[in-house]
Amino acid sequence: MTSEPTPSPRSVFSLEGKLALITGGGSGIGFDIAQCMSLAGATVVITGRTEEKLQQASQVLGEKAHYLVNDVTDLPALKALVDDIESTYGPIDILVNNAGINLKKAALEVTDEEFNRIIQTNLNAVFALTRTCAARMVARQGGSIIMISSMAAYYGIDRVAAYAASKAGIEGLVRALAADLSRHQVRVNAIAPGFIETPMMKTAMAGDIPRRDKALGRTPMGKFGQPKDIGWAAVFLASEAASYITGASLPVDGGNSIGF
Ligand code: NDP
C-alpha cells in the first residue's frame, strides 16, 4: 500500500494531451483505433494512400483528427512524414503500425514479387517507421508503440504464407524492440486480432462460405469481432493503465487463441 492517492480510472485510461499516429487509419481497424483514441482524448493523425478515404474518415473523427497521404512502403519518405507531423502537431506519443495488406493464394503459387510486396508493407515499413519514431521517443524518454499482428502469426492458416511470415516477424520485432527500448520508457506491444469484420476480412472471405464457416467454428465466442474491439484494446495499451506492459502480444479474438 502506498500513501499516494489512487488515480481515477477516467484519468488512467485517458489519452488527453497525447498525439497518436495511426497508419492505415482511413478504414477498417485503423479508423476505429483512431476513433477510440480520439474519444479517449488524443489528437490523431491518420495516414494511407487514398486521400478521399482519409478525408471522409477525418471528417467523421472531428476537429482533433488530421490526415496525411502516405504510402508506408516508400521507406525514404517516412522520416519526412514524421518531421512533418511533429513540426505541425507536436511530438508523437503513440505510434500504431496498423497499415497492412493480405494475399489469399496457395503458397506454391506466390511469386517473389508478391511475397516481397507483403513483407515490404507489413514488416519492412513497420520497422522503418518505428525506428524513426522510437529514436525521438527515446530522446524524450517516453512513448508507446503498438503493432497490429494477427493470429496468422501463431497458427497454420492455409493460403496466407506471405502474410503469416510478415506477422510472425512483427511478433519477434515487438519482443526485441521492447528489450531494446524499455529502459528508455518506450513500450512496445502488439495486438493480435482474430477475425474482425473489415474490408480486408470481407475480401479474404468473399464467396468462400466454407472458409467463413471454419473461421466462425473455431471462434469460441461464435461471432466475428468488430473494429472497435481492437480500438479499445489499443487505447488501453497506449494509456497509463498499461504503463508496466511491454513486449506483450494481446489476443483480441473471441477466444480463438485458446485453440480448441
Ligand atoms: P483494411 O484493408 O480494411 O485496412 C487497411 C488500411 O491500410 C487501409 O486504410 C489502407 O488504406 C491502408 N494501407 C494499405 N497499404 C498501405 C500502404 N502501403 N501505405 C499506407 N497505408 C496502407 O484492413 P484491416 O482494417 O482489416 O487491417 C488492418 C490491420 O489489421 C492490418 O495490419 C491487418 O493485417 C490486421 N489484421 C486484420 C484482421 C481482420 O480480420 N480484419 C485480422 C488480423 C490482423 P489505403 O489502401 O488507402 O492505403
CATH (domain of 78): 3.40.50.720
Domain that holds residue 215: 14-248
- Burial code of 126-142, b = ≥16 C-beta within 10 A, e = fewer? bbbbbebbbebbbeeee
Distance in angstroms (rounded) separating the CA atoms of residues 158 and 8: 46
**Does 95 reside within a domain?**
yes
Question: What is the helix (H) or strand (E) element at residue 79, kind and residue range?
Answer: helix 78-89
**Does 8 reside within a domain?**
no
pLDDT at 61 over 70: yes
Query: Using CA positions, which residue lies closest to atom 8 of ligand 1?
Result: 24
Distance in angstroms (rounded) separating the CA atoms of residues 43 and 75: 25
Query: Which candidate in 67, 89, 155, 163 is catalytic?
Result: 163
**Does 216 reside within a domain?**
yes
- How far is ligand 1, taken at its centre, from the CA of residue 239, in Å? 23
- How far is ligand 1, taken at its centre, from the CA of residue 102, in Å? 8
Banded model confidence at residue 26, pLDDT cuts 50, 70, 90: very high
Task: Answer whether 166 contacts ligand 1 (Cβ < 6 A).
Answer: no
Task: Answer whether 71 contacts ligand 1 (Cβ < 6 A).
Answer: yes
Residue 163 is a catalytic residue: yes
* Beta-strand relationship, 43-48 and 65-69: parallel
At 223-260, the pLDDT tens digits run: 999 999 999 999 999 999 999 999 999 999 999 998 75
Count of C-beta atoms within a 10 Å radius of residue 115: 18
Distance in angstroms (rounded) separating the CA atoms of residues 243 and 236: 10
Which pLDDT value is given to residue 2? Answer: 65
At 186-219, the pLDDT tens digits run: 999 999 999 999 988 888 888 888 888 989 998 9
What does the pLDDT average to over 107-121? 98
- How far is ligand 1, taken at its centre, from the CA of residue 178, in Å? 24
- Based on its alpha-carbon atoms, the radius of gyration of the chain, rounded to whole angstroms, reads 18
Phi-psi region of 130 (alpha: psi -120 to 50; beta: other; left: phi over 0): alpha
Banded model confidence at residue 21, pLDDT cuts 50, 70, 90: very high
**Does 48 reside within a domain?**
yes
Banded model confidence at residue 87, pLDDT cuts 50, 70, 90: very high
3-class state of residue 233 by DSSP: helix
Which pLDDT value is given to residue 260? Answer: 53
Which pLDDT value is given to residue 238? Answer: 99
**Does 254 reside within a domain?**
no
What does the pLDDT average to over 111-125? 98
pLDDT at 57 over 80: yes
What does the pLDDT average to over 144-148? 99
| All cell numbers assigned to 179 | 528489450
Which pLDDT value is given to residue 222? Answer: 95
Which pLDDT value is given to residue 202? Answer: 85
- Find the DSSP H helices in the chain: 9-12, 28-39, 51-61, 78-89, 112-119, 125-140, 161-181, 199-205, 209-217, 227-238
**Does 9 reside within a domain?**
no
Which pLDDT value is given to residue 1? Answer: 65
What does the pLDDT average to over 21-28? 98
Query: Per the structure, how many domains does the chain have?
Result: 1
**Does 257 reside within a domain?**
no
What does the pLDDT average to over 104-110? 97
Enumerate residues 6+ apart whose C-beta is below 8 A from 83. none
**Does 3 reside within a domain?**
no
Ligand 1 atom at shortest distance from the alpha carbon of 26: 9
